[in-house]
Structure 1
Amino acid sequence: MKINYLYFKNSVNDFTKIIFILLFISLTTIVKGQNELKKIDSLLNNRSETYQENLRNIDSAIVLAYQLEDKKILTDAYISKAVYIYEQRNYNEALKNYKTANDLSLSVKDDYLYYTTLFGIATTKAQLNETKEAISIFERCLTYFNQNKEDSKHFKKYLNTLGQLSYLNIKANNLEKSVFYNDLELKNTVDTLNYHYAIKNKGIINFYKKDYKSAFSELKESQKVFLKQQDFTWYIITEQYLGEILYKENRVDEAINYFRNVVKLSKQKKIVNDELRLSYERLIAYNELKGNKNEQILAINDLLSFDSLYYATDNLIAKPNLEKYENTKLKFERNNLEKSNNRLKYSVIGFIVLVVLCSFCVYYFYQKKHKNRINKLLGDITKLKGSTLSLRAKSVKKEKGKSIFDDRLEASLSTFEACQLYLNPTFTLNDLVKELKSNRTIVSNYINSSRNKNFNQYINELRINYAVNRLMNEPTLKKYTIDALAEEVGFNSRKTFSDAFLEHTGCRPSRFIRNL
């Protein structure tokens, strides 16, 4: 009522009316934009207990950011997604999101934002053992942050970059460069928390310089702060270096206590780092030397568990390393069987060999039979992409006379597909309706008419096409278990994924992978 009153009261002429209307529209747009920003902030910062729920919230924030057409907000949203996925140790996926954020930041006149995304890319590459590339990117970041380090946030990133360069150059065997960056790090971090991380790097440098006395003292000093700050990753890594120092000094029994502690804590805290593998190997060798067969088997089992987890998350442990210790474990088991029943053992082994040979023959002929079928399938999938686009084009032409509302639905569905929200295994038709701000009947009918399938068929087709494309273009994905692959492409269970894959491709995922 107040607005109407003010409107008519100020209606002196048409010009006044136009000015008032424009002002009112402008204020309404600003308020709406502020509400959307608050919603994005809430979605990005409020964490639930489940990974999928958090990922869904972040993806919803990204959709809202696309709708606002604000590249800075969109860049921040992708950075948030990259950081969250990085924390879950899915480094390849985190790297993709950091790269997306980096591309978006190019259109935003904010150098700090651009170099923040570069810093994220370098950090992720370091975790993927792409050390040389990580160092090169960090050096670019260092130049920028150094030029602007009078500002507190730039200075913080400057210190972090120095620390990364100091540590990564140790891993790259560039000890001289590591010392150079560490000296800068120590000089600039006095009276800050970063100082203890600089001391840690200095201790590691002295370890490789074989100045074990200084290294032990410096690592012990930094370790106290890590424990206080609950930085268990660096606490455990320094624990291993302390053990290795004692080992190099031939104080093996003392060193073993440190290695045992590394294994114990890394299992408790679920910390998997390539450097920690040495502690597991030291325990195996020590128990073998002492003749502690049972302890050696336990140590081997621990290493196999470590490698399995590391291989599943990072795809970095080479298979021969697994086979080396797997064969050792089988050797112990074989010796125990020999003591109890030699004949039984050889009978079992002979039977297994026979079964394996028969299985191989069957597999060979079956593989040959299905090879042509798989090749045909790959060709059909390529044709499917073109036919799908053609169908959509015809559908659009056919439905040209329909409402603008249908156009908006199509645009929203395209955004939904581009953002890959279908990879969320808990995503339902109600969730899609909520994202599209429509109602269930309209969305369901539109999918039926425009995609020629119901919602579940539509979602499963998107997921299976995504799985097939990634399997064809990413060789490392073939090493995933079917369970892991199902989760990666948005299915709740192995069976659901396998059945959907069979329905859309004509074969099970395991056979498809073997024939790539």
Structure 2
Amino acid sequence: MIVLIPKKTNGFFSLISLFRLFTVFVLGVYTAVGQESISKDSLQKLSYDELYTAYRNANGDTLISKLYLSTYLEKAMADMDTIKMAEAYSSLSYYAAEESEKIALLDLAIAITKRLDNDRYPIKAYSFKGGYYFTKGDYQRALDNYILALALSEQVQNTEYIQSTNHNIACIKTKIDKHEEALTLFKENFEYESDRDELNAMSYLLSLIPMAESYRYNKLLDSASFYNHKGIVMSLKSKKLKHHFYGKLVLNEGVNLFFKEHFDRAYDSINKGIRLLKEEQIKDNESYVLGSFYLGRLYLKKEDTLRAEKEFLDMDALIQKDNIILPETRKGYEFLIAWYKTNSEQEKQLTYINRLLQFDRVIGSQRASVSTKLFKEFDTPLLLKEKEDVITKLEENASTLSFWVIILVLLSLMATGFTYYQFVKRKKYQQKFNELLTQGNKREESSTKLADDEIGIADEVVNDILSKLDQFEEELQFLQKNISISSLAKEINTNTKYLSKVINYHKNKSFTNYVNELRVQYSVEQLKENTSLKNYTIQGIAEEMGFNSAESFSAAFKKSTGIKPSYFMRKLTSLNVE
């Protein structure tokens, strides 16, 4: 199909040229499906919802999908419905063969909706443009469009698009190794998806998977496994979810197992993931690249260099075919260069030296194109607005140079204040650590307050409960998982009301805080005395202490001691080294 390429007018496609593009695009669609059983007249009778539903149910049939969308667009043009026109242009862009066609259709959707103050357009079109540039590896243009989409989303207070755009920006941060910043955004988006009134399983998994990958990139392997398994369970709830996500999740967990040094399980999981992706005919070449790369590394662990070579060559073939650049796969090229050097195959050695040089050039270009300054403007919107205000005032009056001085002073004060805050925080943490290090192992004794007048329970009952609580503490029963006030009340032959009142009054805390503080205090004692426990992960220690997750343990530890368990363990380790 021949398509007219619109000329640019002052940096934008002229609307006349864009409409001409659409006309040829639609005529090409009707020509291509002219012999199909679906008639144009029958489609014209369908409502917008019926046409759009039919398009979504076309199951990837490009010609039929384009036919429904083109009919949808003609109907919108006849009704002069600008938003529905923009919806059609944006969806049709997916099927355009050339980049110029895709961008032209999206620019048209933007141009006709730019001044409408709609809650979806042109936000969605900017998001589509960002997504297209992202898949092409043009992260600077992708970020430019995402920033525009985010600004408009905030302007119309569209929370859904704010969250999805933040998620997309996190994906860009991941590509340039800003993993800690990316994880923060991924977690916020996942929390948003999890808290929806009606959970959208597709959106939920699309949010969960890159977050789990980000946990791996941040070396939080237990958390990565936790969410991979959570995703696997969700993906098995329907045939559609299994088709789209199960294979990728299994493969991702295999990669995670590699870093946990469970090499046999990693090998099985990665192979299974690749097989599932191929069976479902999923075109996720990035996953195939990762799969081949880590299978190659696993074969190297087994000293099977011939199979490792094959996997790294498969990895390279995919990279060359689809221009997939993943920084972690660089080691594959390093192996091939060293392997062919060892075998005196100079031509192949030179080939992969050149490919590694090109690989490094692309990585460097990607990182340079998305400047740190631009990311800081995204991360600190208040500072960006302040900067824009200062620039505007400078243009209005040359005397506003004083504002720059004020801003610099404020920023200096802020920097000084932040530095002082960090100093005080570190000093406070050190003090808390020293207190924990020097305190004895004696647990807090119960209050000797009289119970009868204060809480309405007979003294003998109170004393009996306190005695059994002492036994509960001495026998370390608080380390049991999922212990509740009901189960403990039953264990010591009392009721939950009495038990709650006695703990509240004599321990000066709620039941939950009482149990958590016992566990935390015990963990401190054990970490000081039990050297093997220091080799555990936070997740492992949490389980030993009766907590259900690393997060709940860390929160309870911080609340009880004032410092995080990771800090306490790190300081203990440094003391041992010294």
TM-score (norm 2): 0.47
Corresponding residue number in structure 2 for 1:256: 309
Match of residue 150 from structure 2: 102
d(CA) in 2 for partners of 1:159, 1:309: 30
Once residues 315 and 136 of structure 1 are traced to their aligned partners in structure 2, the CA distance between those partners, rounded to angstroms, is 22
What SS class does the counterpart of residue 93 from structure 1 fall into?
helix
Question: Are the equivalent residues in 2 in contact too, given 1:259–1:280 (CA < 8 A)?
Answer: yes
Q: 1:294 to 1:32 in 2, by over 3 A?
A: closer
Q: Deviations over 1:388-438 (max 9, x none)?
A: xxxxxxxxxxxxxxxxxxxxxxxxxxxxxxxxxxxxxxxxxxxxxxxxxxx
Measure, in 1, the Cα distance between the counterparts of 2:180 and 2:140: 17
Q: Give 5+ residue unaligned stretches, structure 1.
A: 1-29, 318-381, 388-516
2:476 aligns with none
Instruction: Tell me if 1:298 matches 2:351.
Output: yes
Instruction: Report Cα offsets for 1:132-174 as digits up to 9, x if no partner.
Output: 111001111111111117333xx32221222112111111111
Corresponding residue to 1:41 among 70, 87, 108: 87
Distance 2:299 2:275 in 1: 19
Correspondence for 2:140 among 89, 92, 109: 92
**Is 2:116 the partner of 1:68?**
yes
The one-letter code matched in structure 2 to 1:62 is: I
User: Counterparts of 1:269 and 1:52 in 2: how far apart (Å)?
Assistant: 19
Q: Deviations over 1:277-332 (max 9, x none)?
A: 22111100111222322321122122223333444445489xxxxxxxxxxxxxxx
Q: Gaps spanning 5+ residues in structure 2: where?
A: 1-75, 371-390, 397-578
Residues 163 and 182 of structure 1 are in contact (CA less than 8 Å); yes or no, is this contact kept in structure 2? yes
2:337 alignment partner in structure 1: 284
| Preserved CA contact (<8 Å) 1:33 1:68 | no
- Report which structure shows greater RCO (CA 8 Å, sep ≥6): 1
CA RMSD of aligned residues (A): 2.8
* Residue 197 to residue 107, structure 1, CA distance change in 2 (3 Å): same
Q: How many residues align?
A: 291
1:444-503 per-residue CA deviation (whole Å, 9 max, x = no partner) reads xxxxxxxxxxxxxxxxxxxxxxxxxxxxxxxxxxxxxxxxxxxxxxxxxxxxxxxxxxxx
Is 1:202 the counterpart of 2:253 in the alignment? yes
- Correspondence 1:215-254 to 2 at 5 A: 215-227=266-278, 228-254=281-307
Written as runs of structure 1 = structure 2, the 5 A alignment for 1:358-437 is none
Give 4+ residue runs of structure 1 displaced > 6 Å after superposition. 30-33
User: Distance between the aligned counterparts of 1:277 and 1:244, measured in 2?
Assistant: 12
Distance of 1:265 and 1:149 partners within structure 2: 41
Does the Cα contact within 8 Å between 1:89 and 1:314 map onto a contact in 2?
A: no
Structure 1: distance between partners of 2:366 and 2:180: 21
Residue 56 of structure 1 aligns with which residue?
104
Equivalent position of 2:549 in the other structure: none
SS in 1 for 2:115: helix
Counting only pairs closer than 5 Å after superposition, residues 109-148 of structure 1 correspond to structure 2 as 109-148=157-196
**1:271 to 2:304 alignment:** no
Q: Is the 8 A contact 2:139 2:369 kept in 1?
A: no
Q: CA separation in 1, counterparts of 2:88 and 2:267?
A: 46
> Do the aligned residues in 2 keep the contact of 1:149 with 1:158 (CA within 8 Å)?
no
What letter corresponds to residue 189 of structure 2 in structure 1? C
Q: Distance in 1 between matches of 2:314 and 2:78?
A: 55
> What is the aligned partner in structure 2 of residue 464 from structure 1?
none
- Which of residues 175, 178, 184 is equivalent to 2:224? 178
**CA deviation string 1:27-67 (max 9, x = no partner):** xxx99874322432333222333323422332222121113
C-alpha displacement at 1:265, in angstroms? 2.5
Contact 1:90/1:314 (8 A) holds in 2: no
Per the alignment, residue 405 of structure 2 pairs with none
Q: 2:369 and 2:259 mapped to 1: Cα distance? A: 24
**Range 243-252 or range 190-199, more displaced:** 190-199
Q: Which amino acid aligns with 1:144?
A: Y
Q: In structure 1, how many angstroms separate the alpha carbons of the residues matched to 2:79 and 2:365?
A: 42
- Residue in 2 aligned with 1:417? none
Post-superposition offset of 1:276 = 2.3
2-structure distance, mates of 1:149, 1:222: 32
* Matched-pair contact (CA < 8 Å) for 2:106–2:129: yes
Residue 184 of structure 1 aligns with an amino acid whose one-letter code is: K
Distance 1:90 1:197 in 2: 24
Question: Does structure 1 conserve the Cα–Cα contact (< 8 Å) formed by 2:193 and 2:199?
Answer: no
Q: Alpha carbons of 1:248 and 1:31: their partners in 2 closer, same or farther (altered >3 Å)?
A: closer
Secondary structure of the equivalent of 2:121?
Answer: helix
Task: State the AA in 2 paired with 1:243.
Answer: G
Partners of 1:71 and 1:58 lie apart in 2 by 17
Aligned counterparts of 1:162 and 1:149: Cα–Cα separation in 2: 17
In 2, the alpha carbon distance for the partners of 1:238 and 1:117 equals: 28
Q: Compute the displacement of 1:214 (Å).
A: 0.7
Contact 2:119 2:158 (C-alpha < 8 Å) held by counterparts: no
Letter aligned with residue 236 of structure 2: V
| Counterpart residue type for residue 164 of structure 1 | P
Aligned pair 1:167/2:220, yes or no?
Answer: no
Q: 2:360 aligns with which of 307, 324, 334?
A: 307
What SS does the corresponding residue of 2:81 show, helix, strand or coil? helix
Aligned match of 1:371: none
What is the alpha-carbon distance in structure 2 between the residues aligned to residue 246 and residue 216 of structure 1? 9
Taking the aligned partners of 1:311 and 1:50, their CA distance within structure 2 comes to: 27
AA partner of residue 246 (structure 1): Y
Query: Once the two structures are superposed, what CA deviation does each residue of 1:323-373 show, in whole Å capped at 9, x if it has no partner?
Result: xxxxxxxxxxxxxxxxxxxxxxxxxxxxxxxxxxxxxxxxxxxxxxxxxxx
Distance (Å, rounded) in 2 between the aligned partners of 1:183 and 1:69: 42
- Partners in 1 of 2:79 and 2:154 — Cα distance? 23
The verdict on how the C-alpha distance between 1:55 and 1:213 changes in structure 2, with shifts beyond 3 A counting, is same
Q: Contact 1:226–1:232 at 8 Å: present in 2 too?
A: no
CA displacement 1:228-270 (0-9 Å, x = unmatched):
2122221121011001001012122221111122112221233
